[in-house]
Structure formats: C-alpha cells, structure tokens
Chain A
Amino acid sequence: MSQKRFLAWLLPLLATVFMAGSALSADLATLVTNLVTGGYSERDVAITALAASGEERAAPILQALSAGDLYVRTADKIVVIGKGSGKQVALIDAITGKDAGTAAEDDLDKVKVNNRLRGTIDAAVGSLTLMSPNPKVRRQAADSLFTRRDASALAALDPAIAAEKDSAIKRAMTEARAAIVLTTPETTPAQKLAAIALVRDRGDRDAMAVLQIAAQATEGDVKAAALAGAETVRNTLAAWSMAQNVWYGISLGSVLLLAAIGLAITFGTMGVINMAHGEMVMLGAYTTFVVQQVLRSAAPALNEFSVIIALPLAFLVSGAIGVLIERSIIRFLYGRALDTLLATWGLSLVLQQGVRSIFGPTNREVSSPSWMSGSFKVGQLDVTYGRLWIIVFALLVFVALLALLRRTPLGLYMRAVTQNRPMAAAVGIRTPQVDALTFGLGSGIAGLAGVALSQIDNVSPNLGQGYIIDSFMVVVFGGVGNLFGTLVGATALGIVNKFLEPYAGAVLGKILVLVFIILFIQRRPRGLFALKGRSVE
C-alpha cells in the first residue's frame, strides 16, 4: 500500500483526534517526545496521535510502552526500548529501531503506564494493525477483533474495510464489524438483523458464541433471528466436524493402506504372514534418516528433496532384504504357514535389535521438507500438507501396484501363483522366482511406507511394531489377495476408528475396532472381498 493512499484514508480519522494537525506535520521524534513527557492524560492523547501517524515504528513503540519496556536514557534523554531485565538492559533506539548498546537499569527512566493507558494502547495498536501493510497482520487483527468485539474499534474498522483490497480479509473485517454491531446495545434492530446474517454465514464456533450472546441481550425479532442463526451455525459446525472426521479417517486409512498393502501381496501369494513386515517399514524410515544425514553433509542444497531421493533407496533396501529373507528362510517353510509366522517373528526381533545396536534406541530426527509442512483451510477443514501428500502417495503406490499386477508379465505370474500354485508351476511359471520377487516387492513397498511414516511418526526401532497388528487387521478385513479389498479395508477401518474416537476415546475406539474385526472374521473368515479360488481347504 502506498504511503499516499495510506494517508488519504487516514485523514478523516485524524480529524477527530486532538493534536491532529501537529501530528500530521510533526515527525516521529516529536510524537515520541510528546509520549514521554507530561502526565497520564497528556500521554493518552499522545498515544492516539502516535497511532494515527501511521508510522511504521508506532506499533513496536506502543507495545513496548504497554509492556513497561519504554525508557528514557538519563544521560542523553533519548527514548529507548529495553529488552530483558537485570543489571544490564539491551537497548534499541525507539525512533530509528537501531541497536543502542546496553545500560544499567539505574541509568534509565521508565515511562510510566497505567491500565487506562494500556486500554488506549490496545485499541490504538488494534487499529494500527488493521491497516498494516502485512496482510497476515491485518487478518489476525480482524480475527482477534471478532472474538474481542471491542466497541471502540468500530471507528477504526470502517476505514479499514473501505481500504481493504484482499477479499478474504475484507470479509473477516466485515464479520468482525458485524459481531461488534451485534453485541453493542446502541445499534438499531435493522443493523443487528443484517449483522446476524453476516455472522451466521461465517459459521464457526466463534460465530455461534457471538450469536448466543446476542440472543441473550436482545428481544423480539432480533432474538429470534439470532437463535435461528445460532442453530444454523450449529448444523454447519456438525457437518464440518463430520467432514473433518472423514478427513482424519482417510488420512489414517492412507497410512494403514501403505503399511498393509505390501503385507497383502505377500500374504496373498504365499499365504504367509510376514511378522517382520513392520520391520521393513522401519528400515524404510531409517533409510530416510540416513539419506538426510548424508545429504546434510554432502549436498545441503538437495535437502529439500531428501524424501524423494529416499523413496527409491528405501524400496531397494527393504526389497533386497525381503528377497534375502525369502531365499534364506521362508522358502524352506512353504506349506508351514504357522512356522513361517514364528520364524519371521524371530527375524523381526533380530532386525529391531540390529537397528537398535547401530542407530541407538532413541528416536531419530527426520526433518520434513518445507513443501510437506504447514497447512491450509478448506472451509473449516484443517488440511496439513504432510497428510495430504501421504494420501496422494498412498494412492499413487496403490495405482502403480495395480498396474503392475494387471499389466505386466510379472503381475500375471504373481496372480497365477496366488490362485493356483501347482497349475501355475505346471504351465511353466518359475514359482520360486515369482515367490522371491513377490516377497521383495511386498517388502519394498513396506520400505516406501517407511519413508512416508518417517514424516509423521517417531523413527525408532519400534516403529514397525505399532503398525503390524493394524496391518493384519486391514488385510484380514479386506480379504486376502485382493488389492481393492485392502483399499476398502484400510479406508473403512481408518474412518471407523476416527469416528469412534470422539465418543469412546482413542484407546476404547481401537478396542472396539479390534472386537469388531474379531467378530467379523467369524462371519466372513476370508474377508470382505474373498478371492474365489479353487483350493479345497
């Protein structure tokens, strides 16, 4: 915002203020000097004048005054802002904002302030921030006005609304104005009714509070309108909280999907529950950690892409270990599913302890790139970028896997082996090779999941353990050997979990889900989407 326009709309405001003429012509130094001389009533006037000057330094000076950090240096009568307390206070020149050395507290003269002045300062700073060139500050000022509903800010709001160019901030200011109008007794019923409509459309928890306060303070039509508005807002809120729960559920579901989809493949093809699957996820997370460590020293510029670099590496690390496990242990145990379960459990203990010995038992710090941190709002829905990317990533992995299974020869072989191993072998598919590759693929995907989970969970040797039981549940619920079953299973369990949480608490919700699955398996022992094979047992 240019200085000229800034002053143009400031003028009418200034006209109402005592000392307006001198304030406009006076420079900052005079204004500040006025601030520190005279009694409380003169100071009150000076505060308003300083605020009205529109100077950039006005806000920090006034805030310092309010906090009791504004001093006059006894030696040269310069006004300074002190930081910290104790014998030596670090000083900033109030007018220039530059460092002014340090001074002992005895050499400083504190500019006194009382509660009435603080009130004036708050209102003055509020209107200052409403006109700040920084849109974030303006937005914050508008939002805080909505909750404070400071009647004195009305005068500052009108010019701010008129000058505002950003439509979202303008809307926030208009809503703040409406909230003030609603809660001020002096306004007419017509104004109040218009304000109710505005506040109602805002539709959040603060809006409901404003409407409820208004309903208590008013009579007749206005009261009825306020109550109806509050009811509308309540319904809006319920809908949004439902949407938020669904979002959280999808987010949890995407994590479950990532963790379980590799398990679904290995379990589907070999009928083997790989208890070390969670450790493959953990290895993926640790790969991310190592990649970040290496990049930090070797190529700091690439740090922003460390997660993307880690993805193929994690796939290779976990996948290679998976193939190794299959070749060295699991292939000797085919047809003995329960023994495989025990052996892989043992393996998971070894891997955990191995990682613990190498990296230590404590959590390792994995940083998030900037494009994965932060959040934005869709309506009243909080969407964090990290979660959003994980959902996108889970879907990408899902689609890629689906394409692999449906469109490539390896996928064809894998499906053939899943459906009927002896027949597949009879038509010339090398089942041992397919087994090894399938196991490697499933483990590699677990590694990918590990990269994603390193962004939202603690990277510790126990990372995998927390997901293994949930992953089983998803696979068993969705049905074995069916990727869509896993997708539906993961999303459904995620959403159900999040919907139960508000009513039953996180732990009880989880218990209920477990009990539900235990009962569900009794009904449909082969899961939601059972694969129709020709096996006898």
Chain B
Amino acid sequence: MMTRFLWTGMGRNLRLFVLLVLAVGIVVPALNLLMPKTSPFYVPAYALQLIGKYLCYASLALAVDLVWGFCGILTLGHAAFFALGGYCMGMYLMRQIGARGVYGNPILPDFMVFLNYPELPWFWHGFNHFWFAAPMVVIVPGVLALALGWFAFRSRVTGVYLSIITQAMTFALLLAFFRNDMGFGGNNGMTDFKDILGYSVQADTTRAVLCFASALALAIFLIISGAIIGSRFGTALIAVRDAESRMRFLGYRAETYKLFVFVLSAAMAGIAGALYVPQVGIINPSEFAPGNSIEAVLWVAVGGRGTLIGPVIGAFIVNFAKTYLTGALPEVWLFALGALFIVVTLFLPKGIVGLWAQIRARNLAKKATAA
C-alpha cells in the first residue's frame, strides 16, 4: 500500500530515472566483480570507487535541491551535515580497528594515543557498535538542522541572511574540528580504516557492496523526495517558496514546512556522508570547508534546481569534469569551476534539465512573434 503510494506518486520520468540509478548500482559493481580483468567490459576498482563517490555526491546534491529548489532556502552549509554523517561513520570505523592500530591500543584510536588521551571521551562510547553508529548518522545532522532551523525559521530569517548563517555554521564546525582537543583527530581526521561490519574496506566485494548501497540510498531518496513533492505537502512547500507571506496569511505555518524539509535534507546528507567515508577511506575537517557546500549548490544549479533528476545529473557532470580536469589540467579547473558558476546563473537558470524547456519556450515565443 505504502509502496504503491510512493511509486505511483512519482512521474514517469522519475520512475525511469530511479530504475536507471539502481541499474548503475547493480551493473557497475557486477562488471567489476564478475568480468575478467582483460575484458573490455571490466570496470577497474578506481572507476568503481569513483562512481560510488559520485553517487554519494548525488545524494548530497538531492538534499541541497530539496531545500533550495523546492523550499527556497539557499543553504551554504550542507556539506557540514554530510561531513557530520561521515564523522559518525568514521568513529565507528576507527573503533573497528581495535588493537590493529600503530600503537596497538585496543580501546583508544591511534590519534588519541598520540595526543595522550587518558581514556575514551564520553561521546565516543557506543560507536563500536554499528547499531549505535548507524542511527547517529541520521540523528547528529538531524538534530543540528533541527536546532538551527528551529531558531532561524521561527524568527523568519530568510534569503541571504539564512545563507550566511548556514555558512557561519559550517565555518565554525570547520574550525572546531581542526582542534586536536575536540577528540575527532584534529587536522588529520580519521583514516587507516580496516573493516566495516567485519568485512575489509579494501576488499573488492566490500567496495562493490558499498557502491550498490550508495545507489540504493540515492534511489530511496529520490523516491521519498518524489513522494513528498507530489503530495499536498509538497504543493504547500512550493507555495511557501514562492510566496511565504501569502501562505502565512492563509494560515499555513511556513516554518513547520521549512523545518521538516530542512531536517529531512540534513539526514539525507548525513547518510550520503556515511556512505562516502568508507569508500574514500578518510574523513577530515576540510570536508567542512565553506567551498564544499557552495560546490554542492553548483551541482544543483548545473543540473537544474527544482527538479529531482537535475541534481543527480549535475553532481555527476561537475564531478566528472573535476576528476578529469584536476588530473589533466589542474591550472584550468578553478577557472572552469568559476566560469561554470557564472554561466549557469546567467544563462541556465533552470540548469541542464531545464535547457530543453528553455529552448522550446524561446522557439514558441519566436513563432508567436513571427505569426
């Protein structure tokens, strides 16, 4: 019943797109595991890792789009939620290392031994269990978003001010996590992970499963988002985006709508971050850098804000370009990234997905004037 509601709530395009995401999540790992290395269809391990990474970025982009595209909140701090989810996962992975670390301490992670911690800080307790860490991935970013959103939306902080608040939040977190005495590994963050749920993070099968999990998560996020946007709640949400005061006058509680979406989006970003960390094998404070959050916004802008497919496409295109350019022409990358920001805002307000509609509208207008 619930599944039917979710499935039929979506448009045909979105349904096909979800299937495509799942297909990528199944085919790519399968080609990596099953094909012999000589086969032209073999997917090398680095490509598998890259696609897994992109899938996580796509989830983050979708989370950003949910608040920006559908709710009009330009968040410049969503990478913070992503990183917090990543840190929760990182803490679990650190505890899994156990006595195999450089210092061989069964309780304390290496960096704590190095920094002379007498015992495990209180907030590290429980992270040796997956059943504890997994909900934390959602709860920690969710609670932060709830607190921030509760204050901000109730006092009707909007527009640029809200963007600055979110940026200040991620900047403050960046500074905080850089500190060694915060108990999160300071500058170096956490790395040298050994295994997850008993499987080695280096193993091909684990990587394949993680890639699939990322695709599955993205598919689920797409379905949830589609259901929300397609519902009456979604209609009201878009109305809040377009005319907040009017909705307020009509008796809707605009802040409740915003808060719900903001917290949901933060939780999605947290999960994406948690899936990202075991695949790249490191989490450090630079994930909180304000630039990362703004880049995530760019993915959405490139793909097309206010659509569900756009952010995924944008995340893939921009990150593919980034991977290619930073490798081949590192000088050019920042020029390209900067130019992309300008070009997209000036000429592609609806992104790549909206390009078709944009062109058609122009043609129609031309025909209308010609006739």
Binds A, one of B127-135, B153-161, B215-223: B153-161
CA distance A70 to B12 in the complex (A): 97
- CB atoms of A341 and B74 under 8 A apart: yes
**Interchain nearest-CB distance for A79 vs B (Å):** 56
| Pairwise interchain contact B160-A348, C-beta atoms closer than 8 A | no
Cβ contact within 8 Å between B179 and A273? no
B238 on interface, CB distance cutoff 8 Å: no
Which bracket fits the contact residues of A?
Answer: 35 or more
B30, CB-defined interface residue at 8 Å: no
Q: Of A16-24, A121-129, A450-458, A516-524, which binds chain B? A: A516-524
Contact of A338 with B151 in the complex, beta carbons under 8 Å: no
Task: Assess the B167–A469 pair: CB atoms within 8 A.
Answer: yes
Residues of chain A within 8 A of B338, CB atoms compared: 346-351, 353
Q: Does A357 contact B (CB under 8 A)?
A: yes
Q: Which of B49-57, B91-99, B290-298, B315-323 lies at the interface with chain A?
A: B290-298
* Stretch of B33-41, B114-122, B342-350 contacting A (4+ beta carbons < 8 Å): B342-350
Q: Is the CB of B341 within 8 A of A349?
A: yes
8 Å CB contact of B151 from A345, A507, A522: A522
- State the CA gap A390–B160 with chains docked (Å): 30
**Interface presence of A476 (CB below 8 A):** yes
- Per the bound structure, the CA–CA distance linking A408 and B156 in Å amounts to 36
Cα A109 to Cα B175 with chains together (Å): 62
Q: Are A350 and B74 in contact (CB under 8 A)?
A: no
Which residues on the B side are within 8 Å of A514 (C-beta)? 168-169, 171-172, 175
Q: Is the beta-carbon distance between B157 and A332 smaller than 8 angstroms?
A: no
Residues of B near A341 (CB, < 8 A) are 74, 160, 163
* A346 x B337 contact (CB < 8 A): yes
Closest to B174 in A: A511
Q: Does B178 contact A (CB under 8 A)?
A: yes
Known: A514-B171, A517-B168. A342 touches B157 (CB 8 A): no
Chain B contacts for A350, CB-based, 8 A: 334-335, 338-339, 342
| Chain A residues closer than 8 Å to B172, beta-carbon distance | 510-511, 514-515, 518
Partner of B340, one of A346, A507, A517: A346
Which residues of chain A have C-beta atoms less than 8 A from B334's C-beta?
349-350, 352-353, 356
Given the complex, which residues of B lie within 8 Å of A347, measured CB to CB? 338, 341-342
Contact A349 B337 (CB under 8 A): yes
A353 and B331 contacting across the interface, CB-CB below 8 Å: yes
Contact of A333 among B155, B337, B339, B345 (CB under 8 A): B345
Least CB distance from B150 to A in Å reads 9
Asked if A395 CB lies within 8 Å of chain B CBs, one says no
A329:B346 contact, CB within 8 angstroms: yes
- Min CB distance B169 to A, Å, is 6
Known A350-B339, A353-B334, A469-B290; contact A518-B175, beta-carbon cutoff 8 A: no
Residues of A with C-beta under 8 A to B294: 342, 345
Q: A342-B298, A514-B172, A515-B172 are in contact. Are A476 and B341 (CB under 8 A)?
A: no
- A-facing residues in B348-363 (Cβ within 8 Å): 349
Decide yes or no whether A8 CB sits under 8 A from chain B. no
Q: Taking CB as reference atom, which chain B residue is nearest A512? A: B172
A339-373 residues with Cβ-Cβ distance < 8 A to B are: 339-343, 345-354, 356-357
Asked whether, in the complex, the Cβ of B175 is within 8 Å of the Cβ of A507, the reply is yes
Bound complex: CA of A346 vs CA of B176, how far in Å?
A: 27
A68 at the interface (CB under 8 A from B): no
Residues of B within 8 Å of A356, CB to CB, are: 334
| Alpha-carbon distance A346/B198, docked complex (angstroms) | 44
Q: How far is the CA of A519 from the CA of B301 in the complex (A)?
A: 29
B342 contacts A329, CB within 8 Å? yes
Q: Is A106 an interface residue (CB 8 A)?
A: no
Residue ranges of A at the interface with B (Cβ–Cβ < 8 Å): 267, 271, 273, 329, 332-333, 336-343, 345-354, 356-357, 469, 472-473, 476, 507-508, 510-511, 514-515, 517-519, 521-523, 525, 536-537
What are 7 sample pairs from A and B whose C-beta atoms fall under 8 A apart? A333-B346, A340-B345, A342-B345, A343-B342, A351-B338, A469-B290, A518-B165
Interface on B for A, CB 8 Å cutoff? 74, 148, 151-152, 154-161, 163-165, 167-169, 171-172, 175-176, 178-179, 245, 290, 294, 297-298, 301, 331, 334-335, 337-342, 344-346, 349
